[in-house]
A and B are shown apart, each in its own frame.
Chain A
Amino acid sequence: RKEVEQDPGPFNVPEGATVAFNCTYSNSASQSFFWYRQDCRKEPKLLMSVYSSGNEDGRFTAQLNRASQYISLLIRDSKLSDSATYLCVVNMRDGSARQLTFGSGTQLTVLP
């Protein structure tokens, strides 16, 4: 079983749609969680950190469910510019900054 698993997609949605991605992680002691966005042939960039209480940034909402060991990303009112690959990133708990584990990414295409 992979340490961090994501549905690779692709998700093809019309402009204005709401889309949700889930990501599961295997290590129950994981501490830090992030969503990154990666455009084609570019570097990953932080979209948002994921906090235990959930957090929202404009059209984006991230949730953490520790009991079921998953995090989610909800995008409301999708824009063409949201088309990208979304990476789920988890920091495993071992006291080291090294233990960043990346999911393989979920590809989103927003269609006009």
Chain B
Amino acid sequence: DVKVTQSSRYLVKRTGEKVFLECVQDMDHENMFWYRQDPGLGLRLIYFSYDVKMKEKGDIPEGYSVSREKKERFSLILESASTNQTSMYLCASRQDRNTEAFFGQGTRLTVV
């Protein structure tokens, strides 16, 4: 059974903290994604990675960075958390453009 696992289900952080969200997939997929999902705005792409150490900015990269040192792991970093980054964060992976994406269980981040 395919699996994408995010390190935390719920997180509460303080404004200004550096936050790491980890994602691991066991399907040997080349492509990995970080999205955030907010009510009324749907899923928005933050960053995309198509290979180890390769990344592309998505639609809303400001305030975020990513790291992909190993194929199976894709990390999202909030350099200095702010209250407007309170959201549901979803990691996904996908083999290629013709196949479906598999999602992790999501991390609900609250920045106070």
Contacts and interface: CB of A to CB of B under 8 A. Distances in A.
Interface residue tally of chain A, by bracket?
20 to 34
A98 B31 contact: yes
Interface string B59-97: 000000000000000000000000000001010001111
Chain B contact surface mostly: strand
B103 to A, nearest CB: 4
A34 interface: yes
**What bracket does the count of chain B residues touching chain A fall in?**
20 to 34
A70 interface: no
Contacts of B100: 34, 46, 49
A5 B43 CA distance: 13
Interface of B: 30-31, 33, 40-43, 45, 48, 50, 56, 88, 90, 94-106, 108
Which 3 pairs from chain A and chain B are nearest by CB? A43-B103, A104-B42, A97-B31
